[in-house]
């Protein structure tokens, strides 16, 4: 029992990171009905931005986090501006190919600058705590805490602010949005900024939790978070969070009871089963019934 | 100064020319209506005026050319458009839809007053203000679309077939509201298939036929014109 409780802590940590990444897919899908296949690579870039900033300046954790989110966020918004916007009225498949292409460019750029995996420096000295037999580290608490704070903040932003309202309006009917005086492109840019910023934060946290980072680290994690977003219901913010945590839980618990080679087999079989019964995902709605 | 001057307006969809060089003038404070059958180009014309579509020709609004001004910026000039099909955000609440209509306004107290006024003018909306707008009936959605457009305090309101799909009683209600808005000094450009109703409240009017204007006159003149009666009023 204690063993499972211990694993649950690991599951929450991993799930929180998946959820942060999944949010980026879902946000962008919400405003553009497009999958940003470069998102996994933005996650990777976030880890590298953290490495660069931390090795240049000895800044506190929070400051580095903000800088990583801003820089990754602006990179995401820049990609939208130069690569996706010109193709907005082009066939869907062109946008998909462009996104995949952007991801490959970023990944190869990073791997040419940093061909080998790099150790991630610890940003503070990690202490372990013992909670009634369960061990949890200050890093784990930080990762889980920061992720949850970001998710709650995002949920508030989307539900309560006028920018959030505009983002939801775009996901319902983007043609009408400019007729209310709302600058469509600006809202889309901000959406990318937020989505990529969360991805960057996830990259940084992931790099701190598994402190060896490489240019290829975004590929598999990116795909997994994408699947989590779809299972939760792509376009749904809460769905992305639910999907991320389910995926983290299933992965960690599978490894807890079975050989680790079964992890992905079990995890993805389960997710496929969920999709068979809930084709729009757990919290997703059929097109144009999004409420 | 006229509210709108439209010079040789053209709208094309690929090879299809939907509006073939029309010109008309809308005077300050009047109700101008553009009537025409299905596919005549009414919606295309309104979309050009609000900047939703690229177009040829020239549009002068309040004395200034606005052709290079994007759709969202035109709202800031006081030109609001209630689109065909209403354009309600069904996933947002009634209140949120109204608030988005005030996007460009900075005067918080003024916005709050206008929200209150809108909800008083449309009691059905007040009853449903926290409900998802997608659950409203067609008539309620039309009311919401008009109320939302008014939140930007427009000087000129473009209305695309506000009577579409509504029961006669509701159509009467909507038209009463349109007249009230106009009485408060808002210029109205009303597009309709329902020529009888539109011409009755219009100060001036034009008939659009497959992308060209075939007749113009006052509302009363067109109402009694035998050609209009034969083609649009079923007389
Ligand atoms: N997006 C589009 N792509 C191609 N053709 C279009 C498009 N929108 C409109 N058209 C064509 O342009 C012409 C004018 O259409 P428009 O919608 O302006 O007419 P309308 O007068 O508003 O008709 P209705 O009374 O049915 O609303 C029609 O022949 C229509 O088929
Ligand atoms: Mg039309």
For every one of its 235 residues, what pLDDT tens digit does chain B have, with 9 covering 90 and above?
A: 899 999 999 999 999 999 999 999 999 999 999 999 999 999 999 999 999 999 999 999 999 999 999 999 999 999 999 999 999 999 999 999 999 999 999 999 999 999 999 999 889 999 999 999 999 999 999 999 999 999 999 999 999 999 988 888 889 988 999 999 999 999 999 999 989 899 999 999 999 999 999 999 999 999 999 888 888 776 5
Question: Is the residue at A256 inside a domain?
Answer: no
Percentage of residues in chain A with pLDDT exceeding 90?
A: 77
Give, in degrees to the nearest 5, the angle at Cα B22 between B18 and B26: 125
- Encode pLDDT of A195-241 as tens digits: 999 999 999 999 999 999 999 999 999 999 999 999 999 989 999 99
In a domain, A94, yes or no: yes
Which residues lie closer than 8 Å to B58 by C-beta, 6 or more apart?
A: B5, B6, B7, B8, B9, B65, B67
Q: What is the pLDDT of residue B228?
A: 86
Sign of the C-alpha dihedral computed for residues B89, B92, B95 and B99 taken in this order: negative
Strand-pairing partners, residue B212, are B209
Q: Residue A291 domain-assigned?
A: no
Cα-to-centroid distance, A181 and ligand 2 (Å)? 22
In a domain, A24, yes or no: yes
Query: Chain B, 39-68: which have a CB under 8 Å from a chain A CB?
Result: 50-52
Q: What is the pLDDT of residues A173-189, one digit of tens each?
A: 999 999 999 999 999 99
Contact B74, B66 (CB under 8 A): yes
pTM for this predicted structure: 0.92
Count of the separate structural domains present in chain A: 1
CB-CB under 8 Å, B92 with A178:
no
Q: Is B84 on the interface with A (CB under 8 A)?
A: no
pLDDT at A287 over 70: no
The answer to whether residue A81 sits within a structural domain is yes
Q: Which domain holds residue A56?
A: 2-124+131-217
| A211 domain residue, yes or no | yes
* A229 within a domain of the structure (yes/no): no
Contact B92 A162 (CB under 8 A): no
A18, part of any domain: yes
């Amino acid at each position: 029992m204690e063993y499972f409780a211990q694993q649950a802590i690991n599951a929450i940590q991993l799930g929180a990171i998946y959820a942060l990444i999944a949010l980026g897919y879902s946000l962008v899908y919400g405003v553009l009905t497009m999958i940003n296949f470069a998102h996994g690579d933005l996650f990777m870039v976030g880890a590298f931005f953290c490495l660069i900033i931390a090795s240049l300046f000895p800044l506190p954790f929070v400051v580095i986090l903000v800088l990583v989110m801003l820089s990754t966020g602006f990179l995401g918004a820049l990609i939208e501006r130069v690569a996706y916007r010109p193709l907005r009225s082009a066939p869907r498949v062109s946008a998909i190919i462009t996104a995949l292409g952007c991801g490959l460019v970023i990944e190869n750029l990073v791997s040419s600058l940093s061909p080998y995996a790099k150790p991630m420096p610890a940003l503070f000295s990690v202490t372990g705590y013992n909670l009634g037999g369960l061990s949890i580290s200050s890093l784990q608490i930080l990762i889980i805490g920061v992720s949850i704070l970001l998710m709650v903040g995002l949920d508030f932003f989307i539900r309560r602010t006028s920018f959030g309202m505009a983002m939801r309006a775009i996901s319902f009917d983007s043609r009408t949005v400019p007729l209310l005086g709302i600058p469509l492109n600006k809202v889309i840019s901000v959406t990318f900024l937020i989505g990529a910023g969360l991805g960057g934060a996830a990259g940084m946290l992931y790099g701190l939790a598994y402190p060896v980072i490489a240019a290829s680290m975004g590929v598999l994690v990116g795909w997994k978070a994408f699947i989590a977003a779809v299972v939760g219901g792509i376009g749904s913010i809460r769905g992305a969070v639910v999907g991320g945590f389910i995926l983290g839980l299933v992965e960690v618990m599978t490894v807890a009871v079975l050989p680790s080679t079964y992890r992905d087999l079990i995890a993805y079989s389960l997710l496929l089963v969920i999709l068979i019964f809930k084709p729009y995902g757990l919290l997703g709605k059929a097109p144009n019934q999004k409420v | 100064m006229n509210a709108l001057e439209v010079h040789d307006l053209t709208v094309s969809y690929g090879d299809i020319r939907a509006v073939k060089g029309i010109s008309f003038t809308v005077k300050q404070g009047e109700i101008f209506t553009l009537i025409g059958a299905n596919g005549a180009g009414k919606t295309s014309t309104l979309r050009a005026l609000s900047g939703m579509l690229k177009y040829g020709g020239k549009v002068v609004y309040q004395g200034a050319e606005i052709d290079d001004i994007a759709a969202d910026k035109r709202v800031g000039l006081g030109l609001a458009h209630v689109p065909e099909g209403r354009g309600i955000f069904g996933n947002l609440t009634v209140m949120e839809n109204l608030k988005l209509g005030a996007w460009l306004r900075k005067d918080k107290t003024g916005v709050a007053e206008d929200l209150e006024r809108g909800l008083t003018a449309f009691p059905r909306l007040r009853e449903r203000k926290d409900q998802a707008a997608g659950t409203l009936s067609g008539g309620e959605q039309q009311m919401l679309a008009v109320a939302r457009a008014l939140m930007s305090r427009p000087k000129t309101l473009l209305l695309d077939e506000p009577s579409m799909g509504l029961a006669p009683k509701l159509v009467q209600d909507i038209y009463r509201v349109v007249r009230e808005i106009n009485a408060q000094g808002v210029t109205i450009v009303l597009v309709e298939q329902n020529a009888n109703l539109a011409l009755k409240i219009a100060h001036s009017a034009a008939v659009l036929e497959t992308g060209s204007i075939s007749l113009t006159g006052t509302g009363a003149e067109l109402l009694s014109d035998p050609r209009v009666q034969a083609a649009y009023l079923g007389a």
